[in-house]
Structure formats: structure tokens, C-alpha cells
Amino acid sequence: MNIFAKSALIALLAGMATVATAASDKRASDELFVTSAKAGRGGAVSIDFDNRAGAAVGFEFKIKVPTDAKVNTSNCLADLPKSHTGVCMFNHIEGYVLGMVFSDSNELLPKGMVPVGRVLIRAGKQPVDVKVEHFLAADANAKKIESSAKVLE
């Protein structure tokens, strides 16, 4: 198993355990969890969305990564429910992973924890540090709903 596959597995397992613990508290707002697992100059990021209120139809995020990173976003939205789709890409000029999740039929996301996907990152000279710089969740009327984002390591 290569280092990216190991990093992805570590991030997935760490993300599941950490997100389960974080989601058990009584916060009312929806939350995006970005779980980072580092391996040398590379790593993986697991993305999960906790739809606590059950009102979210879609969301968007912007995650800062090193500008010299090699980023694989092919599984960024791989775990979404079949009712939803989206787009995820890496802007290498500014160093952002940008994602948008939506439903063509305006279907609600399942209530509770929704796995989103994984992003593999190989950095050059910088360590793999990520930061959520923007996150917005929206209801069926495209109105912003109370939400926040958290990076877990």
C-alpha cells in the first residue's frame, strides 16, 4: 500500500472516530468536519457534514492548503448520498480546495452525519496544514442556515 493509500485510510478512520465523538455533543448548528491525517510531507483530509437540524439541501466549502501541493480531489465527494452531487476542485494558484454539494431535485441531505469524501495532498517543502476559510450550508430555499466548520487533527 503506497503512502497516499495509507494516509487516506488513516484519515478515514481518524475522521470517523473523531467526528463521532464531536457530533455527540448538543450543539444546534450544522457543522462541516475536516479531519487531517499527516504522513511526512503528504496526508489526507476526510470531509464529513453533520446535518444536525436536518434542514440542509446543500453546502459549499473552501479549504486552504499549501500552494505548492499536489492535490487529488477525485474522491472529494465520493461518499455523498445518491440524491446529491457536486463539484470539487483544486485551485493551485491560490491553494484552495473548493467544493459545492447540491441536489438537482432539492432533496434534503440525510439528518445526522453525512460522509462527503477524501482529498489526498502531497506538499512540497511545507507541512500539510489545512484551514477551512469558508463554509456555508443552505436550506431548500437557498437560504443560509446556521452552520460552522472545524478542522480536526
Instruction: Say what the pLDDT of residue 127 is.
Output: 64
Instruction: Say what the pLDDT of residue 69 is.
Output: 87
Instruction: Say what the pLDDT of residue 27 is.
Output: 53
Instruction: Say what the pLDDT of residue 143 is.
Output: 96
Which contiguous run of DSSP H or E holds residue 17?
helix 3-23
Find out whether 45 and 78 touch, Cβ atoms under 8 Å. no
Rounded mean pLDDT for each run of 10 residues along the chain, 153 residues in total = 48 48 58 86 89 96 90 96 97 95 96 96 76 96 95 88
Length of the chain: 153
Per the DSSP assignment, residues forming a β-bridge with 113 are: 50
Instruction: Say what the pLDDT of residue 3 is.
Output: 47
The string of DSSP letters for 113-146 reads EEEEEEEEEE-SSS----EEEEEEEE-TTS-EES
Instruction: Say what the pLDDT of residue 26 is.
Output: 53
Instruction: Say what the pLDDT of residue 105 is.
Output: 96
Which of the 8 DSSP states describes residue 126? Answer: S
